[in-house]
C-alpha cells in the first residue's frame, strides 16, 4: 500500500511513503521528545548547581551549626558560670594596647617599674599559675629529686583526667617537669602528697611562702590551681615571678618544649602549654599558663624585649589564643619605643 502525503504549506509537493504506520509512529515520537526537552533541561539544572555548591557552602555551615550550638546549649543547661572577672564587670574594658585580658601588668624586671597596668589590684582565681608556687615549695624542701613517686588511687580519684595512670612511677624531678611544662595536675598533687606532713602541710607552706614574698592579696588552697579559691592579683603575681625566676630548675622546666614518657608500655608525649615557647616567637626565660572557668585564660612570663627583661601578667583573657596575642601586643608596643620609653607609672615594692 502506497500513501501520498501532501504538505499544505508547500504547494504541489508530494511525499511518497511506503510504510505509513512507521512514519506516523516516528512523527509522534519526535513531537513527544520536543515537548519533553524543555522540561528535562529545566529539572536537571538545579541538581547540577546543588552538587557544585554543597562542598563549598552547604557542608561547612552545617558542621559549624552541629559543633558549636550544642556546646552553648549544654553550658547553659549545666549551669556554667562566667569567670569571676566577668561577674565583676572587668571583661572587655578598653585600654591603650587593646588587650583582651581583664587584668594585665608589665613590669621592668630590673627596676621594678610598672610600665603598664590594668586592674592590677583585683584578686582573681589564677588557675595553674599556682604551680609556680608549688614548684618553689618543693624545691625549698630540699627533698631528693631522684626519689621515685607512685600514682595511687587517691591521686586518680581526686584528678580524674590525666595520662599518668594508676601505678605510674616517676621521679620527683619528672613530676616537677610535667607540672611546670605540661601543667599536669596529678604530677602537681603527688608532689604535695609526698611532702612531709602531706597535702595540708604543703598548702600551709604555700601560703607561708606567699606571705614572705609580700603577696598579701593572695591565697592558696590546693597545689594545682583547679580550685577557684587560689587567688592573687597582678601585682602579687609579679612578685611571684621575681621569686620563681631565682630558681634555675623552674626557669628550665617551665620553658621545656616537650617530654616523652613510657606509661603502661606506651610512649606518651607531653607538650609545653605555651605556644610561644613552642614557636620561639619570644625570648622567654620563665612562663606558666592556667585555665579554669572561674579564672579564664591566664599567662605569666618573664621575657626579654629589645634586651629589656620584662615581667608579664595576663589574667582572664578572652579566647583560646588571646593571652598569647596579648603578650605579642606588649612585645610590639615595647619595640616601638626609643630608649628611656615608655615612662614608668610607679615602682613596685619587693
Catalytic residue among 162, 183, 188, 232: 183
Question: Is 183 designated active site?
Answer: yes
Q: Taking a C-beta distance cutoff of 8 angstroms, is the pair 106, 114 a contact?
A: yes
Q: How many CB atoms lie within 10 A of CB 113?
A: 16
Strand partners, 268: 261
Let me know: does 334 contact 310? Beta carbons within 8 Å.
Answer: yes
Task: Single out the catalytic residue among 128, 162, 317, 322.
Answer: 128
DSSP 35-91: HHHHHHHHHHHHHHHHHHHIIIIIHHHHHHHHHHHHHHHHHHHTT----HHHHTT-T
128 belongs to the catalytic site = yes
Let me know: does 4 contact 14? Beta carbons within 8 Å.
yes
CB atoms within 10 A of CB 111: 13
3-class secondary structure, 232: strand
232 is a catalytic site residue: no
Measured between alpha carbons, how far is 350 from 342 in angstroms, rounded to an integer?
22
d(CA 348, CA 114): 7
Name the residue among 299, 272, 303, 304 with its Cα closest to residue 288. 299
Q: Which of 100, 101, 118, 131 is catalytic?
A: 131
Active site residues: 128, 131, 183
Amino acid at each position: 500500500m502506497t500513501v501520498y502525503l501532501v504538505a499544505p504549506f508547500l504547494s504541489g509537493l508530494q511525499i511518497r511513503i511506503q510504510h505509513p504506520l512507521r512514519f506516523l509512529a516516528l512523527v509522534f515520537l519526535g513531537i513527544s521528545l520536543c515537548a519533553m526537552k524543555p522540561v528535562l533541561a529545566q529539572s536537571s539544572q538545579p541538581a547540577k548547581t546543588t552538587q557544585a555548591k554543597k562542598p563549598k557552602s552547604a557542608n561547612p555551615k552545617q558542621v559549624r551549626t552541629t559543633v558549636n550550638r550544642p556546646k552553648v546549649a549544654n553550658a547553659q543547661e549545666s549551669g556554667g558560670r562566667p569567670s569571676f572577672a566577668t561577674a565583676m564587670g572587668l571583661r572587655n574594658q578598653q585600654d591603650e594596647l587593646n588587650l583582651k585580658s581583664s587584668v594585665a601588668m608589665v613590669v621592668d624586671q630590673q627596676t621594678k617599674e610598672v610600665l603598664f597596668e590594668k586592674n592590677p589590684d583585683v584578686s582573681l582565681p589564677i588557675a595553674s599559675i599556682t604551680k609556680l608556687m608549688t614548684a618553689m615549695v618543693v624545691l625549698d624542701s630540699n627533698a631528693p629529686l631522684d626519689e621515685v613517686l607512685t600514682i595511687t588511687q587517691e591521686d586518680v580519684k581526686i584528678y580524674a583526667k590525666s595520662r599518668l595512670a594508676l601505678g605510674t612511677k616517676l621521679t620527683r624531678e619528672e613530676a616537677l617537669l610535667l607540672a611546670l611544662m605540661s601543667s599536669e595536675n596529678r604530677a602537681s598533687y603527688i608532689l604535695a602528697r609526698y611532702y612531709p606532713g602531706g597535702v595540708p602541710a604543703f598548702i600551709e607552706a604555700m601560703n607561708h611562702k606567699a606571705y614572705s614574698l609580700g603577696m598579701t592579696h593572695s591565697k592558696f588552697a590546693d597545689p594545682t590551681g583547679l580550685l577557684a579559691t587560689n587567688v592573687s592579683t597582678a601585682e602579687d603575681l609579679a612578685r611571684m615571678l621575681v621569686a620563681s625566676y631565682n630558681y634555675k630548675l623552674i626557669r628550665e622546666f617551665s620553658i621545656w618544649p616537650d617530654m616523652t614518657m613510657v606509661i603502661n608500655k606506651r610512649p606518651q608525649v607531653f607538650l609545653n602549654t605555651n605556644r610561644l615557647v613552642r614557636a620561639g616567637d619570644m625570648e622567654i626565660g620563665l612562663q606558666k599558663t592556667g585555665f579554669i572557668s572561674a579564672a579564664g585564660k591566664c599567662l605569666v612570663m618573664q621575657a626579654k624585649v629589645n634586651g629589656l627583661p620584662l615581667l608579664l601578667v595576663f589574667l582572664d583573657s578572652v579566647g583560646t589564643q588571646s593571652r598569647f596575642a596579648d603578650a605579642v601586643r606588649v612585645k610590639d608596643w615595647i619595640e616601638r619605643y626609643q630608649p628611656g620609653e615608655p615612662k614608668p607609672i610607679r615602682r613596685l615594692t619587693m
